[in-house]
């Protein structure tokens, strides 16, 4: 964990509610699947946001406006600074990927898969990506994943774009391992529909985001884990649903 | 003895700053960032007789200038705390630590305190009487002078370490409860624990927290802390530890003027992991500004 002041260099909308913010600062120690925790003026608790990408000193966050904190973030402009805690959480483990890994993202669960896809592609893996959204207007990052050389399928629940249905309706026939992030109903469906082992990234309301308050604990096969510290990524074998 | 030092129940503290239980774990997360020996001490995660997972999530809700938590005393139980947490802590913290103890029956408190009494690293026992009494219809020990006194007496019987009773502010007469604890042998009083609060999500039309209600903390409750510390410190002859929304060196001095011998910092640690250290470092300059030579001189000075 590290506390750093970042400077915003870009903050643009990708859809009506999803924004991409690029920040420049000390990114040392940030790994794929981690999150950062952002202090916002006038809000008491920090906002945990997943890392979409991190290259050089540039940190990319893709976030959805859901409340007053993320609304405030969306109104910030290049040049403004943010107090950010970085290096938080246990991210994705790339060593398990195999040769043909599958990435499954739903809605605002798509962003954390981007850096993972980029790193897996740089290792020469044939990466399949399925991105699920509710409707065509909400689709984002299809081109970005394609530009990495991934095989990309988009699903929409209402069928307005791509394959009609959910990410689980568009699973490829063969894959060596999977990584997923999205709303909990989607994660549960992925858990049931997948044929291999895999890693799931979870979301929870957090107090501190660095393991001190026990606000985000969940039960797992071996006991309990803190989503912010031992998570947000858990393996398929250790997950206990409805615990 | 430095300008910041205070004496808490016979043990000298380099400074009066104590991260509050439940906001500092067993110290390791913070020891990654700075040398936690800079603290006066800290009060470790509330420990019970057996292990507890705590409440379902969500356990956290944000509020204006504060937060609500309903963690539910998640902890590995006193045996594991002694076997695993204390040896780990020894590597990064070399001062006496404050052991925070909770229970759901008087026997539980006595059992846990008796175990911790044998641990050299433990300087003080801070006994949280805000938990519901399972034999008393679920009412919190801390809401009745009799029950709080019974817990105090039971704990005093099993330990020679200073016993500090941590009081809940969710009562009509805090002074009578503090006095009952003092009469039962308490060596100190700490207050205030969190205030009972609740938030409702307008979109789901349901409580934000799974447990519905939880403990409200943060700067919003600071004036209540000042008031209650003042009332209690003027009524008892044992040291008082003040807490509740402390986030600056000025807050520390204000609580000490109200009568606090030492000051705990809680929710602020969760927002800024350096908060307790920053407050300690800011104290000398803040004291200069108000013409305070030694912090211990101002304890209870406000009349």
Of B33, B63, B267, the CB nearest to A1: B33
Domain-ending residue, one of A88, A112, A128: A88
Of B24, B62, B63, the CB nearest to A212: B24
pLDDT tens-digit map of A165-178: 999 999 999 999 99
CATH code, domain carrying A46: 2.40.30.10
Place of tokens 């997972």: B53
Domain-ending residue, one of A66, A88, A110: A88
**CA dist B279 → B118, B250, B273 (Å):** 32, 9, 11
Q: Contact, A128 vs A150, CB < 8 A?
A: yes
Is the pLDDT at A125 greater than 60, yes or no?
Answer: yes
DSSP string, B233-249: HTT-SS-EEE-SS--SH
Q: Flag whether A106 is in a domain.
A: yes
Q: Flag whether A196 is in a domain.
A: yes
Q: Flag whether A26 is in a domain.
A: yes
Q: Flag whether A193 is in a domain.
A: yes
Q: Flag whether A111 is in a domain.
A: yes
Q: Flag whether A235 is in a domain.
A: no
Q: Flag whether A54 is in a domain.
A: yes
pLDDT of residue B36: 98
Of A39, A44, A215, the CB nearest to B69: A215
CATH code, domain carrying A110: 3.40.50.80
pLDDT band at B130 (very low <50, low <70, confident <90, very high): confident
pLDDT band at A119 (very low <50, low <70, confident <90, very high): very high
Same domain, A40 and A109: no
Q: Contact, B117 vs B82, CB < 8 A?
A: no
pLDDT tens-digit map of A169-210: 999 999 999 999 999 999 999 999 999 999 999 999 999 999
φ/ψ region of A124 (left if φ > 0, alpha if ψ in -120 to 50, else beta) reads left
Cβ-defined contact of B273 to A208 (cutoff 8 Å): yes
Task: Give the separation between CA B231 and CA B47, rounded to whole angstroms.
Answer: 28
- Geometric angle at alpha carbon B203, from B198 and B204, rounded to 5°: 70
As a whole number, mean pLDDT of residues B76-93 equals: 97
CATH code, domain carrying B23: 3.20.20.70
For residue B25, give how far its alpha carbon lies from the nearest alpha carbon of chain A (Å).
Answer: 5
Alpha helices in A17-174 (DSSP H): 68-74, 112-122, 142-147
Which chain B residue's Cα is nearest to A203? B58
Contacts A229 to B, Cβ<8 Å: 29
Cβ-defined contact of A1 to B271 (cutoff 8 Å): no
Query: Could you tell me if A241 lies within 8 Å of chain B, comparing CB atoms?
Result: no
Of A1, A206, A219, the CB nearest to B60: A206
Query: Could you tell me if A103 lies within 8 Å of chain B, comparing CB atoms?
Result: no
pLDDT of residue A209: 96
pLDDT of residue B102: 96
For residue A205, give how far its alpha carbon lies from the nearest alpha carbon of chain B (Å).
Answer: 6
Q: Count how many domains chain B has.
A: 1
Contacts A210 to B, Cβ<8 Å: 29, 273
Q: Flag whether B69 is in a domain.
A: yes
As a whole number, mean pLDDT of residues B238-249 equals: 98
Share of chain B above pLDDT 70, in %: 98
Q: Flag whether B303 is in a domain.
A: no
Full domain range(s) for residue A160: 94-201
**CA dist B266 → A231, B5, B69 (Å):** 24, 20, 12
Full domain range(s) for residue B12: 6-298
Contacts B69 to A, Cβ<8 Å: 207, 213, 215
Q: Flag whether B137 is in a domain.
A: yes
Task: Give the separation between CA B280 and CA B263, rounded to whole angstroms.
Answer: 11
Same domain, A43 and A139: no
Cβ-defined contact of B273 to A205 (cutoff 8 Å): no
């Amino acid at each position: 964990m590290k506390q750093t002041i970042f400077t915003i260099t870009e903050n643009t909308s990708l859809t009506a509610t999803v924004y991409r913010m690029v920040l420049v600062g000390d990114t040392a120690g940030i790994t794929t699947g981690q999150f950062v925790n952002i202090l916002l003026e006038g809000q008491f608790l920090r906002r945990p946001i997943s890392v979409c990408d991190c290259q050089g000193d540039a940190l990319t966050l893709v976030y959805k406006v859901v409340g007053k904190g993320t609304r405030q973030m969306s109104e910030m402009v290049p040049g403004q600074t943010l107090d950010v805690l970085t290096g938080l959480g246990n991210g994705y483990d790339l060593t398990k990927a195999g040769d043909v890994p599958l990435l499954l993202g739903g809605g605002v669960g798509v962003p954390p898969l981007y850096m993972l896809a980029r790193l897996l592609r740089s290792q020469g893996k044939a990466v399949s990506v399925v991105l699920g959204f509710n409707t065509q207007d909400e689709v984002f990052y299809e081109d970005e994943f394609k530009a990495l050389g991934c095989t990309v399928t988009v699903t929409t629940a209402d069928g307005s774009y791509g394959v009609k249905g959910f990410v689980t309706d568009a699973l490829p026939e063969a894959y060596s391992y999977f990584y997923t992030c999205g709303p909990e109903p989607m994660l549960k469906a992925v858990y049931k529909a997948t044929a291999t082992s895999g890693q799931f990234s979870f979301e929870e309301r957090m107090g501190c985001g660095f393991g001190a308050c026990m606000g985000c604990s969940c039960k797992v096969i071996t006991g309990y884990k803190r989503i912010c510290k031992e998570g947000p990524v858990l393996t398929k074998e250790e997950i206990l649903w409805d615990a | 003895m430095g300008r910041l030092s205070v004496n808490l129940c016979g043990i000298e503290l380099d400074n009066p700053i104590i991260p509050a239980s439940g906001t500092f774990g067993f110290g390791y997360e913070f020891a990654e960032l700075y040398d936690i020996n800079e603290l006066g001490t800290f009060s470790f995660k509330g420990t019970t007789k057996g292990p507890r997972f705590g409440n379902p999530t969500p356990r956290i809700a944000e509020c204006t200038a504060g937060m609500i938590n309903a963690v539910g005393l998640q902890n590995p139980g006193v045996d594991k705390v002694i076997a695993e947490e204390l040896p780990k802590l020894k590597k990064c913290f070399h001062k006496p630590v404050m052991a925070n103890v909770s229970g759901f029956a008087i026997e539980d408190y006595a059992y846990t305190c008796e175990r911790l009494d044998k641990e050299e690293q433990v300087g003080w026992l801070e006994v949280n009487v805000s938990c519901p009494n399972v034999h008393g219809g679920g009412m919190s020990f801390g809401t009745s002078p009799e029950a709080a006194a019974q817990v105090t007496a039971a704990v005093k019987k099993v330990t020679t370490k200073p016993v500090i009773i941590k009081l809940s502010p969710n009562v009509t007469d805090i002074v009578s409860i503090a006095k009952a604890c003092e009469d039962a042998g308490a060596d100190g009083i700490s207050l205030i624990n969190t205030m009972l609060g609740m938030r409702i999500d307008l979109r789901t039309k349901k409580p934000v927290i799974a447990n519905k209600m939880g403990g409200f903390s943060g700067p919003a409750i600071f004036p209540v802390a000042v008031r209650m510390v003042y009332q209690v410190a003027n009524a008892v002859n044992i040291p008082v530890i003040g807490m509740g929304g402390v986030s600056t060196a000025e807050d520390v001095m204000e609580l000490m003027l109200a009568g606090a011998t030492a000051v705990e910092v809680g929710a602020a640690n969760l927002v800024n992991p350096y908060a307790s250290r920053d407050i300690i470092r800011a104290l000398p300059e803040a004291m200069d500004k108000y013409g305070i030579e030694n912090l211990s001189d101002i304890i209870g000075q406000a009349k």
